[in-house]
Amino acid sequence: MKRKVTKAVFPVAGMGTRFLPATKSIPKEIMTLVDRPLIQYAIDEARAAGIKEFIFVTSRGKSALEDYFDDAPELENSLRKSGKTALLEMLKQTNMDSGAIAYVRQNRPQGLGHAVWCARRLVGNEPFAVILTDDVIAAEKPCLQQMMEAHAETGGNVVATMEVSPERASSYGVLDVAEDMGSMVRAKGMVEKPPMGTAPSNLAVIGRYILTPNIMTNLNRLKVGAGGEIQLTDAIAEEITAGNPVYGYRFRGQRFDCGSKAGFLQATVAFGLARDDLRNEFSQYLTETVALQKAAQ
């Protein structure tokens, strides 16, 4: 019997140096995409997929991230007195029940695999999801929910994949495909950041995973991999070596790399244009801006 996945790990210990000086005083995960912080997009996606327990792997300087999910009685009372019910409801969506969130610390940055390993005692002997908040996915059905439905059929380990150009493959973990079944592929190997021209396919792994507890056992060996860090990809690849299934899932949706400035700006435009209350004014501004740029060339 396949166990239902109800726990998710959110590795949020990174310092966000690509967004300095903004991240000098606030965690990158609190930076807002339109009017919601990145972490809220991840939490909403996890909730839609049936996640009940949220495990954050944090580090020093992340107290604002922890505070974000607390109740704000004074603010709520002010909104209630002002009759701003819509804003009050929106605010309530950011609150988390007592005990639903747990925090563990990663004392030193040693890679994604090490960050996930830090949550091993809270995960226990259960399958679990991993969500990277840098990857924001616009989708009609949330990406993790799509993956949960696929996982219910296959079991094993499931990673979200998307096709990338050959020159970009060296920036990702890449699947070596044994069998292509359309939306799902069965992997016979995984390579983290393969040197240019050596990638076994153009299917890159992005920041959504559903993993068996075996992954924690593999991470216990704490082998250093690409970039001198402990790689989650290596722990997943060990599952394939051991004869356990690993699948890539081609999700339906558009992924934005909000870990980069260009990706963050692209996501801002896409999510802004998707909003009924912003679309007309924002679209007009963008059209006029592009026209002015062309005229100046």
Cα(211)–Cα(219) distance, integer angstroms: 12
CA gap 33, 285 in Å, rounded:
18
pLDDT band at 22 (very low <50, low <70, confident <90, very high): confident
Say if residue 39's pLDDT is above 70.
yes
Amino acid at 190: M
* Residue 91 pLDDT greater than 90, yes or no: no
Backbone angles phi, psi at 83, to 5 degrees: 70, 20
Question: Which domains, from first to last, does the chain contain?
Answer: 7-259 (3.90.550.10), 261-297 (no CATH)
* Residue 102 confidence (pLDDT): 87
Scored b (16 or more CB within 10 A) or e, 153-187 reads ebbbbbbbbbebeeeebbebbbbbbeeeeeebbbb
Greatest Cα pair distance, the chain, in angstroms, is: 64
- What pLDDT sits at residue 120? 92
Determine which of 69-83, 144-158, 244-258 has the lowest per-residue pLDDT on average.
69-83
Which stretches within 21-111 are classed as H helix? 38-48, 63-68, 73-81, 85-92
- pLDDT value, residue 160: 95
Is the confidence at residue 1, as pLDDT, over 80? Answer: no
The answer, as to whether pTM is greater than 0.85, is yes
% pLDDT > 90, the chain: 44
Q: Between 168 and 9, whose confidence is greater?
A: 9
How far apart are the C-alpha atoms of 211 and 158, rounded to whole Å?
7
Q: What is the pLDDT of residues 153-210, one digit of tens each?
A: 888 999 999 989 888 888 888 888 888 888 898 999 888 888 887 888 889 999 999 9
CA distance 268 to 262: 10
- Give the H/E segment covering residue 147: helix 143-154
Task: Classify strands 53-58 and 7-11 as parallel, antiparallel or unpaired.
Answer: parallel
Q: What is the pLDDT of residues 104-127, one digit of tens each?
A: 888 887 888 899 999 999 998 999
Q: Does residue 17 carry a pLDDT above 60? A: yes
Confidence of residue 215 (pLDDT cuts 50, 70, 90): very high
Q: Which residue has the tokens 């310092």?
A: 15
Flag whether pLDDT at 27 surpasses 70.
yes
Question: Which of 41, 258, 240 shows the shortest CA–CA distance to 144?
Answer: 41
| pLDDT value for 69 | 79
CA nearest neighbour of 234 among 179, 173, 159, 177:
173
Structure tokens, 195: 């040197």
Tokens encoding 211: 């993993």
- Given a cut of 70, whether residue 222 has pLDDT beyond it is no
Mean pLDDT throughout 215-234? 77
**pLDDT attached to residue 254:** 94
Amino acid letter for position 243: G
Tokens 């990145």 sit on residue: 38
pLDDT of residue 225: 56
DSSP helix, strand, coil percent of the chain (3-state; round to 5)? 40, 25, 35
Average pLDDT of the residues of the chain = 87
Q: Look at residue 129 in the predicted model and tell me its pLDDT.
A: 96
- Across 200-226, average pLDDT: 85
Q: Between these two residues, 83 and 136, which has the higher pLDDT value?
A: 136
Q: Mean of the pLDDT values across residues 64-88?
A: 82
Q: How many other C-beta atoms lie within 10 A of the C-beta of residue 75?
A: 12
Tell me which H or E stretch contains 257: strand 254-257
Residue whose token pair is 């704000």:
72
Give yes or no for residue 82 having a pLDDT over 80: yes
